[in-house]
Chains A and B, each alone.
Chain A
Amino acid sequence: MTVAALRYGRLKRRRAYGWLGIALALFCAVLAAGALLAILGYVVVQGVAAINWDFLTQLPHPIGVPGGGVANGIVGTFIIIATAMAIAVPIGLLTGIYLALFGRGPIPEALRFLSDVLSGVPSIAIGLFAYAVLVAPLKHFSAFSASFAFAMLMLPLLVRTSEQAIRSVPQTVREGALALGMSNFRATVGIVLPTARPAIITALLLAIARVTGETAPLLFTAFGSQYWELNPNNPMAVLALQVFNYAISPYPNWQAQAWAGAFLLVAAVFVLSVGARLMLSRAMRGLES
């Protein structure tokens, strides 16, 4: 065999391997996207079939009585997430600012490490913690304890994303403000934070999306309720919990409602993610020039 022929043989083999690799990668990509689409499609088909106006506006009906809805769970979800935001956003944002501006040295490093650890803790463990500190001592379940658990879930995400958002503002912008004789506080609050605003809103939306579908920490905190409940000191209905309870029930009527609830949750997370993407692209555009 001549050298040229040998080379040609190798080339052919390399090309074949190349094609094989591309085909394999494509197959995996299709598989992943396909699985995702299948799940989404299934939820949408099942959910749309089961959803109706009553589902959105009525209280759950007792077992055996057809109809009814999850209105209390939808409202409860809003209340619990809003309360969690009220706790986590100020702390997370301030920590993010601190890390972005004074982010070197042992204390900031320790904070970052803690926040990373916290973000890795399973949500059920965080729920248990909330149970231990807020439910067990008070001897009753409460929406507030669920908000506390959600806040802990959001916190590491908020800390990291808001730190990055502020860091993405060029140092030259901050120095420009300081060079005019602005105080550190005014430069941060008046100039740097507004510049980082789209990125910070992205962070908030992602934090909400993170907890919207969480169920595990609700099991022994918010607990659930059959009634209208607006007092955060009492057990409260939450959509994700209702989906869970209905899904494992033996009644076809409830199972259909579980799909409708799952559809709502998926739709909410979808909207939040798209909103976050839009804000992020705005943030990138704003910082370009």
Chain B
Amino acid sequence: MSAVATAAGQELLATKDLSAYYGEREAVGNVSLSFPRKAVTAVIGPSGCGKTTLLRCLNRIHEVAFEARVKGRVLLDGEDIYGGDVDPMAIRRRIGMVFQRPNPFPTLSILDNALACAGKGLNRRQKMECAERALHAAALWDEVKDKLRTSPLRLSGGQQQRLCIARAVAAEPEVLLMDEPTASLDPIATAVIEELMARLTDEFTIVAVTHNMQQAARVSDYSAFMLADEHGVGRLIEVDETGKLFTKPSDPRTEDYITGRFG
């Protein structure tokens, strides 16, 4: 397909012929896509083309939905995460996720949210350090350091979203999936999170869904364009280095989309 797919050894995560279903409805069809290590790959495309569904297949959270099924393979470091003896919980610890709408745990304090899946077997001081590191990584520490024991529901939407990022980061995953992480945020909070994504690639491989093409252009190294076919099945149209996809797309449908002719 392109330089991305053939850059052997570069990819940490890859889908092979992946199809996803809700009951009989095929939402994503035959997607083969690789996500290079320590880079941001953006998934773009019009509403309903299956971006969220694709992302949810990558950490096996798709199967939590009612009658949701997956066909094909998803390889993490060469190993199929849908293999028979693979524990989905272990996969989800290696592949963290940030959802489209901030979803902090309402009954836990800010601190306990950050530590929700980290800090097992650590003493108090180590836990504090772990939380502080995660909150720093999510660029939230300065805003919450004086109210760590209060409810996350009193934070703004952008702060809640960064708390969710901190929560995911604290679990020390290898891959971070982000589903339109700035969809509900104002430009300032968006800028903070975009900056954050650039910084997080030092440690993580990031897959980010976005509606916003400027954002994809700003934050991602690679971009994948998806489109629903005439049956409403989401297909991968093309994937390339972001600069190339946005300037010289090889498929006319990609060009139509990025020049705003539809979608």
Contact = CB atoms under 8 A, between A and B. Distances in A.
B117 A178 contact: no
B105 A179 contact: no
A178 B167 CA distance: 13
Given A176-B164, A289-B153, A195 B89 contact: no
Given A180-B92, A182-B89, A287 B106 contact: yes
A176 B113 CA distance: 11
Interface stretch (B7-15, B59-67, B190-198, B234-242): B59-67
A9 interface: no
Contact of A179 (B66, B97, B104, B107): B97
B167 A173 contact: no
Contact of B105 (A104, A177, A197, A288): A177
Interface in A174-193: 174-183, 191
A181 B170 CA distance: 12
A39 B161 CA distance: 53
A180 B116 contact: yes
Given A180-B168, A181-B90, A175 B103 contact: yes
Contact of B96 (A172, A180, A183): A180
A173 B103 contact: yes
How large, as a class, is the contact surface on chain A?
A: 20 to 34
Given A173-B106, A197-B107, A289-B153, A179 B92 contact: yes
A170 interface: yes
Interface in A133-192: 170, 172-183, 191
Contacts of A172: 99, 101, 103
Nearest to A169: B106
B105 A176 contact: yes
A177 B61 CA distance: 10
B65 to A, nearest CB: 8
A8 to B, nearest CB: 52
Given A195-B107, A289-B153, A175 B92 contact: no
A176 B56 CA distance: 12
Given A176-B99, A180-B171, 5 more contacts: A173-B105, A175-B99, A175-B103, A179-B61, A180-B92
13 contacts: A104-B66, A172-B99, A173-B103, A173-B106, A174-B64, A175-B99, A176-B103, A179-B61, A179-B97, A179-B99, A180-B167, A181-B92, A191-B105
Q: Which 5 A-B pairs have the closest CB atoms?
A: A181-B93, A180-B117, A194-B107, A181-B92, A179-B97
